[in-house]
Amino acid sequence: MAIQIQVNGKTHSVDTPPQTPLLYALRNDCDVNSAKYGCGAGQCGACTVIVNGNQVRSCITPISAIKGNITTLEDYQNDPVLKALNKSFIAEQAAQCGFCIAGMMMSAKGLLDKNKNPSDAQIKIALNGNLCRCGTYSRILKAVKSAAKELA
Amino acid sequence: MNAPFKNSRRQFLFQSTGLVIGFTFGSELVADNTAPDLPIDLKNNLNINSWLYVDPAGKIDVFSGKVEFGQGIATAFRQIVADEMDVIIERVNILPCVTGIAPNEGVTSGSQSVEFGGLALRYACAQARGTLLEKASQSLKVPIGDLSIKDGVISAKSGETVDYWKLTSTELLQQKADGRYKPKPVTNHRYIGQSIQRIDIPAKVSGGVAYVQDMKFPGMLHARVVRPPAPRAQLISINESAIKSMPGVVAIVKSGSFLAVVAQREEQAVNALVEAKKQSKWEMANDLPSTYAQWHKTMIEASNLDTEHAVKKDPSKQGKKIIAGEFTKPFIAHASIGPSCAIAILKDGVTTIYNHAQGMYPLQRDIVKALQVPADKVVCVHREGSGMYGQSGADDVALDAALIARELPNQHIRVQWMRDDEFKWEPYNSAMTVKIRASLDEGGNIANWTQDIYSNTHSTRPGEKEGNNLISSWYMANPQKRSPVTNIPLPAGGSHRNGIPLYSFPNQQINNHLVQEMPVRVSAFRTLGAFANIFAIESMMDKLAKEANADPVEFRLRHLQNQRGKDVILKVAEMSNWKPNPKRVKKNGKLYGRGVAFSQYKNLQVYCAVVCDIEVDGNGKIRVTDVWAAAEAGLIINPDGFKNQIEGGLIQTISWTIYEEVKFNQAGIQTASWADYPILRFEDVPNIQVELINRPNEKSIGVGEGNAPIAGAIANALAMATNGRVYDLPLSPARVKKLFT
């Protein structure tokens, strides 16, 4: 039976069992590229999206558990926080392979939505569940800080 | 398709891979190793039009055999081409590597892309630009010397102009490289040397199609490989009907012990994989070493290929006191955030594979061997994937996709490895043991240095003449044998990479013991053997400095003849405000220390000296708080890209040093998830400052692997903080705690 989900304001109908991880529906049915498969266990953060203001690991969240609009990085043109992050991540060149970056940006959005002026320590805590293998952490930190400044 | 194609096969390649550009080719790629004075990659791919095409539409299409994986190489190449061709950078279009079209430049590895690929491009562009000038000279009837170029517009002094886009033709660059035009002097560079923003980043920060994982094709099927529970396990049986009846399952592909499930939807493929693991029976090999201790012992005792290197003898200079150290390093995983992925389709007898491996041509070679088809029946197309720090599972998944596509023609097959597939099946960085014995003379100088290196090879990449290095070729029906084991020879070296200290000692001998037995799969990983060798050498230098009552910085400078090496050490000492013989500090139950280390990668590439400050808590956990690094790599192409590579490399290497080891026992690899394999997280990120030295008159050398010395610097900081030393990596809390309890 088809399940309805709302992604960046648009409703999609997905024909999949209710226990299907949200990630697969987003990527294969809802035109989302940003949320990535990294571990399938909620351990790396590459699949992070925002639902009702909260960070959600879409790889371990059943599609049926979602109530409300799902925000992904694709919405950056409409979402002022994502737009600022998009700009600052480019300005700081805060990516190497970039596979973790969308997840980093979504976790950063989760933080900035609640805290307009986070300290370095608060950013590190908010993003501590997002792994980066290329070692881009210090640039990501700078990019999040500069986005916060832009939004202030 | 704008331009006529003289070669239908290449036309087909373009159409089949979806690349739409105006381009023409010579009949074949030509290699001529006797061509004088040309960069090696150009000698191997002599036709200028195999490198670039000047498009009448006002752009320059560039083919490179080197691939982008977030290290910024496409951007560096754009800078090089824009400068050499005298056009604005926006006109330069770097195309992905496609076998049969792009020049064959082997593997993108070893920090050699700018040094080799970039240099070849500079020469190819110089000749293209010169050819355009020749044409303009004829057309305007003005000597070449009286012409100038601005953004592709060639002007005579009279004010008459003609541009590239009118002068170009499909035949223009159908010529062999001959070196008649040399690249520009650095003073004429506009883009080289600037921190140009990377072209690959915008798609990555906006949800664009940036990776092979993001590619979608109509009717694409999803597959998962059912890997054996452990290396060399053989499939006994599988209850196929239990899986075939599952929703969406399209096929089970079975060949020997190669087993895969294919479904319409991705989650259906994942469910089928889970079920197939339950429904399959395997005969286990149980042939892995039981512990690291056993493996390090085996490496020393096994029958190995032994070679001697860099032997120096000066009987007049003998040391009195012998100082020895035995250092070990475990297997380390590449552990890219995104597991490997490939998409393949078999159509009209040709298998086209989209994939993120580091070398499309070497990959093609092993896939051709596995499929037993003519070489032109396999086309490998590069698309980016998650971080490539050497040979991950990227090559293997390409063969997986090809084997499945063979059974289901005319449909795109997407194979995505699961997290545990990647952790258990990627080839690791080889475990190593490095023994050093050294002695000091009466003046406190090193008189003798003997180093014994025990390790498996550090490269089992695909593309060898014999055998096959892709996993599934070993498990399929009529399995193929691994390629013969070789060690990358010096001066670059494999297991003995950086095994020869850059310091000068009157007596020296390096013994390399290449371990033949290889129960755990290994291959290239960032810095290869250099990581363990530099860790051992730089640890030993501090141990000897302490014995000689010398300051570690002064002691290194004293033993180093190489001025460029000295300069980065002096620079980092200045940056970190190094005070001779720093003392340990104890405060609030924590110990604090500072350490220094240095290397020139491969003794050929980037010079990098680092200083770090660490704190050690009561549980033995090390946290690196501050890092200073000074690096030099000749002429800098892109300063920010260089810094990004150094910063990232140092952070990654701090992670290797403090946290990482692949776990195994006799039954199999026991590392399957991030819970089993912690890496450095945000909370442990140090402050990091990188400064570069530019040497415009020295050739550009690779910058991607300046990271190795940080391990030695941490070990030296730890030795200072605790008055003890850990010789075994990782510098884990359990090991560190033993130093003070």
CATH number at residue A33: 3.10.20.30
Judgement on whether residues B443 and B360 belong to the same structural domain of the protein: no
Residue B4 reports pLDDT greater than 60: no
pLDDT band at residue B317 under the 50/70/90 scheme: very high
Instruction: Looking at B282-336, list the stretches that DSSP marks H as alpha helix, in order from N- to C-terminal side.
Output: 292-301
Q: Does B440 share its domain with B415?
A: no
**Residue B19 confidence class, pLDDT cut points 50, 70, 90:** very low
B179, B204, B229 - which closes a domain:
B204
Domain for residue B639, yes or no? yes
Closest-CA distance of chain B to residue A114, Å: 20
* Domain end marker among A24, A39, A72: A72
Binning pLDDT at 50, 70 and 90, where does residue B7 land?
very low
Nearest to A89 by CA among A133, A8, A145: A145
- Quickly state the pLDDT bin for B186 (edges 50, 70, 90): confident
B617 lies in the same domain as B499? yes
Residue B496 contacts by C-beta under 8 Å, 6 or more apart in sequence? B309, B453, B487, B490, B510, B512, B529, B533
- Which of B387, B416, B419 minimises the CB distance to A96? B387
State the pLDDT confidence band at B466, using cuts at 50, 70 and 90.
very high
**Interface touch B207/A139, C-beta < 8 Å:** no
The pLDDT of residue B584 is 82
- Domain co-membership, A64 together with A110: no
- Give the residue on A whose Cα is nearest the Cα of B651: A135
Looking at residue B36, its pLDDT comes to 63
Kindly list the residues from chain B whose CB atom is less than 8 angstroms away from the CB atom of residue A133.
Answer: 335-337, 386-387, 389, 652, 679
**Hey, what are B459's tokens?**
């490269």
Regarding whether A81 and A61 lie in a shared domain, the answer is: no
The CA distance from A125 to the nearest CA of chain B, in Å, is: 7
- CB contacts of A38 in chain B (<8 Å) are 337-339, 386, 419
Residue of B nearest to A140 (CA): B682
Q: What is the pLDDT of residue B187?
A: 80
* Residues counted in chain B: 741
pLDDT at B115 over 90: no
Q: State whether B161 and B239 are in the same domain.
A: no
Model confidence pLDDT, tens digit, residues B235-267: 999 999 999 999 999 999 999 999 999 999 999
One domain, residues B522 and B644: yes
Which residue segment(s) compose the domain that A143 sits in?
Answer: 75-151
Residue B468, domain member (yes or no): no
On whether residue B278 sits in a domain, the answer given is yes
Distance CA(B101)–CA(B97), nearest Å, equals 8
Report the pLDDT value the prediction gives residue B519, as an integer from 0 to 100: 95
The encoded tokens of residue B448 equal: 């003798």
Q: Does A72 touch chain B (CB under 8 A)?
A: yes
B261-282 pLDDT, tens digit each: 999 999 999 999 999 999 999 9
Domain boundary (A47, A72, A97) is at: A72
- Say if residue B730 is preceded by a cis peptide, omega within 30 of 0: yes
A47-72 mean pLDDT? 96
Same domain, B79 and B146: yes
End-to-end CA distance of chain A: 45
Of B201, B385, B683, the CB nearest to A128: B683
Q: How many beta-carbon contacts under 8 Å exist across A and B?
A: 168
Yes or no, beta carbons of B265 and A24 under 8 Å apart: yes
Structure tokens at B559: 């033993």
Q: Which residue of B has its CA nearest to A126?
A: B682
Helix (H) or strand (E) holding A26: helix A22-29
Task: Quote the number of domains for chain A.
Answer: 2
Q: Are B594 and B582 in contact (CB under 8 A)?
A: yes
Buried b (16+ CB within 10 A) or exposed e, A132-146: bbbbbbbbbbbbbbb
Strand partners, B354: B343, B381
pLDDT band at B28 (very low <50, low <70, confident <90, very high): very low
In chain B, the number of structural domains is 3
Structural domain of B34: 8-204
Q: What's the whole-model pTM score?
A: 0.94
Q: Indicate the average pLDDT of chain B.
A: 93
- Are both A99 and A133 inside the same structural domain? yes
The CA-atom distances, in angstroms, between A83 and each of A88, A104, A130, B204 are: 9, 14, 20, 14
In this structure, are A67 and A90 located in the same domain?
no
Looking at residue B71, its pLDDT comes to 84
Question: pLDDT tens for residues B51-74?
Answer: 999 999 999 999 999 999 888 899
Q: Are residues B170 and B242 in the same domain?
A: no
- The CA distance from B337 to the nearest CA of chain A, in Å, is 6
Over residues B640-655, mean pLDDT: 94
pLDDT tops 60 at residue B193? yes
Taking residues B3-29, what's their average pLDDT? Answer: 43
Tell whether A49 and A86 lie within a shared domain.
no
Question: Domain for residue B117, yes or no?
Answer: yes
**A127 & A81 share domain:** yes
Q: Are residues A23 and A90 in the same domain?
A: no
Are residues B370 and B268 part of one domain?
A: yes
Considering the domain architecture, whether residues B138 and B235 belong to the same structural domain is answered as no
Residue B526 lies in a domain: yes
- Which of B204, B220, B244 lies at the terminal end of a domain, its last residue? B204
What is the pLDDT, as a whole number, of residue B642? 92
pLDDT of residue B112 exceeding 90, the answer is no
Helix (H) / strand (E) containing B507: strand B507-515
The angle formed by the CA atoms of residues B201, B203 and B209, to the nearest 5 degrees, is 135
A99 and A138, same domain (yes or no):
yes
Residue contact A135–B69, C-beta within 8 A:
no
pLDDT value, residue B6:
39
Is there a domain that residue B301 lies in?
A: no
pLDDT tens readout for residues B583-617: 788 998 999 999 999 999 999 999 999 999 999 99
Residues of B in contact with A34 (CB under 8 A): 206-207
B642 in any annotated domain:
yes
Does B214 sit within 8 Å of A46, measured CB to CB?
no
**pLDDT bracket for residue B29 (50, 70, 90):** very low
Residue where a domain stops, chosen among B173, B204, B235? B204
The CATH number of whichever domain residue B235 belongs to comes to 3.30.365.10
CATH of the domain at A80: 1.10.150.120
Chain A residues whose beta carbon lies within 8 Å of the beta carbon of residue B647: 135-136, 138-139
Region of B596 on the Ramachandran plot (φ > 0 left; ψ -120 to 50 alpha; else beta): beta
Same-domain status, A90 and A64: no
Contacts of B201 in chain A (CB under 8 A): 89-90, 93, 95, 98
Under an 8 A CB cutoff, do A37 and B213 touch? yes
Residue B485 lies in a domain: no
Among A39, A95, A141, the residue with its CB nearest the CB of B205 is A95
- Residue B678 and residue B702 in one domain: yes
Tell me whether residues A37 and B416 touch, CB distance under 8 A. Answer: yes
d(CA B535, CA A63): 48
pLDDT digits (tens, 9 = 90+) for A8-21: 999 999 999 999 99
Q: Which of B538, B520, B376 is nearest to B460 (CA)?
A: B520
- Does A48 share its domain with A23? yes
Q: Which of A41, A72, A103 is the last residue of a domain?
A: A72
| A139 lies within 8 A of chain B by CB | yes
pLDDT of residue B176 exceeding 90, the answer is yes
The reply to whether B501 and B599 lie within a common domain is: yes
Phi/psi zone of residue B264: left (φ > 0), alpha (ψ -120 to 50 degrees), beta?
Answer: alpha
B661 with B684, same domain: the answer is yes
Same domain, A122 and A57: no
Rounded-to-integer distance, Cα B738 and Cα B741, Å? 5
Residues A65 and A85 in one domain: no
